[in-house]
Structure 1
């Protein structure tokens, strides 16, 4: 690609913003929006998981929300539409961050602040308290997922998590997945014991739209280890939904936790 190929020679419009990342989008824009993201299939701008979380916790109006890993701003868009007072969204992937800025401009998300950087470092160094922490699609990308759960527990009385988890029986029976995972192991963090498998991204790292973790491997906790850790960190009221043991990328579920 020559530098002149980077110029846009059509009249300014919002589709031009999206086409900067043509072929890299994971999210589909709202159905009432004429703009197109490619390939853009995930319904993250009209996500029933967020609708469910609001029913569990109550109205998000005037809430201070901390969002970990906004990806392309779909949930951020939903938080503003539900009248959140302020949304802090932290994204470490530079291309995902720039896509979030495109979405912020297109939809005028004036109550969302996208920050570029590592949310673990942010949580380690903040004294701020939030009405809720949203961690959708990030736990299974972590090298130290138990540490992340502990840090979240210090920042809010409520949390929402959607995550994949390791289930040995399911993974070993999925030919397309099992080569990515190590045998089940046990670990301990600050007195919390847990079971996990180390997952490798392998060929996924070659895609320009890659939106996984910052390292070539991550730890997938077992479902039981996730729930056990949350209870030890004070989230005694846990409600679970969206159980997907047959999810194409590995078993997954969502939960809302309150202290």
Structure 2
């Protein structure tokens, strides 16, 4: 393979940029760019973010921290909804570069994308945010309770969308391999006692479209443990929506949390 193979000799278009990761996109771009060939999931027009805007009294003039922006779909929505700034942190280098392509195509002005580990960032930053959006990341953690605790130190408003562990629902889900989950372990994080269930990535780690955690496995929590953890670390007021027991990747739900100052 020659370095010359990396050159694009066609007329310059946004599609050329998207095709750097051809076949790897999850999201369908919004109008007027919806004719561009990317993915199919409407993450740039996501009802979960619309609901979050309603429940959180809007994003206008807010300083937002977004964990795991994937391809920038929610980032775009947050800017459209009037956020003052969005700091989006992505660990997957391919996803990060797709976010930069999104930023260029959609001309995002309020968003800044950083490549790296958001857990390390939360442990070291002195920044405080009006709102944290953590969609699709909690179930990819080794220590999900730690992530909730770290977020609780950096904001008073939180939106999480996540899968959760439910043995009966997972057992009866034909899309989930029997070997996806293995061990369970009792855990105690800063006095919060809960149970974690090991979720194994297996063959998905060989795919360029993998957008999971940074290790070969992650630890899932039951829904009630997630809610109890949020309460334990200060998010006393919780609102729940989008609870699905039939999602092909496992049961999931969305929760908004408010923490008293």
Bin for the TM-score computed over the shorter chain? over 0.9
Which residue of the partner structure matches residue 115 of structure 1? 114
The offset of 1:175, in angstroms, is 4.6
CA contact (8 A) 2:182 2:199 kept: yes
SS at match of 1:42: coil
Q: Distance in 2 between matches of 1:121 and 1:194?
A: 23
Aligned residue for 1:182, secondary structure, equals strand
Cα displacement (A) at 1:9 = 0.8
Q: Distance in 2 between matches of 1:36 and 1:184?
A: 44
1:79 aligns with 2:78: yes
State the Cα distance separating 1:2 from its structure 2 match.
Answer: 3.7
State the number of aligned residues.
Answer: 258
Following superposition, the deviation at residue 34 of structure 1 comes to 4.2
The Cα offsets for residues 47-96 of structure 1, whole Å up to 9 and x where unpaired, read as 00000001001121110000000000000000111110000000010000
What residue number does 1:186 align with?
186
Q: What stretches of structure 1 move > 6 A for 4+ residues in a row?
A: none
Structure 1 residues 233, 161: closer, same or farther in 2, change over 3 A?
same
Root mean square deviation, CA, Å: 1.2
Structure 1 portions without partners, runs of 5+: none
Structure 2: state its 5+ residue gaps. none
The answer for the alignment partner of 1:244 in structure 2 is: 244
> 1:113-152, aligned counterparts within 5 Å?
113-152=112-151
TM-score, length of structure 1 as denominator length = 0.96
CA contact (8 A) 1:167 1:251 kept: yes
Secondary structure of 2:45's match?
Answer: coil
Once the two structures are TM-superposed, the CA of residue 183 in structure 1 deviates from its matched residue by 4.2
Give distance in 1, aligned partners of 2:11 and 2:36. Answer: 17
**CA–CA separation in structure 1 for the residues paired with 2:81 and 2:13:** 26
TM-score under structure 2 length normalisation: 0.96
Structure 2 CA distance for aligned equivalents of residues 236 and 33 of structure 1: 41
Aligned residue in 1 for 2:203: 203
Q: Distance in 1 between matches of 2:108 and 2:31?
A: 18
Contact 1:14–1:35, Cα closer than 8 Å, also in 2: no
- The Cα offsets for residues 18-37 of structure 1, whole Å up to 9 and x where unpaired, read as 11111000111114324424
1:15 touches 1:35 (CA, 8 Å); kept in 2? Answer: no
Kept in 2, the 8 Å contact 1:65–1:88? The answer is yes
Q: Any conservation in 1 of the 2:175–2:248 contact (CA below 8 Å)?
A: no
Does 2:226 align with 1:219? no
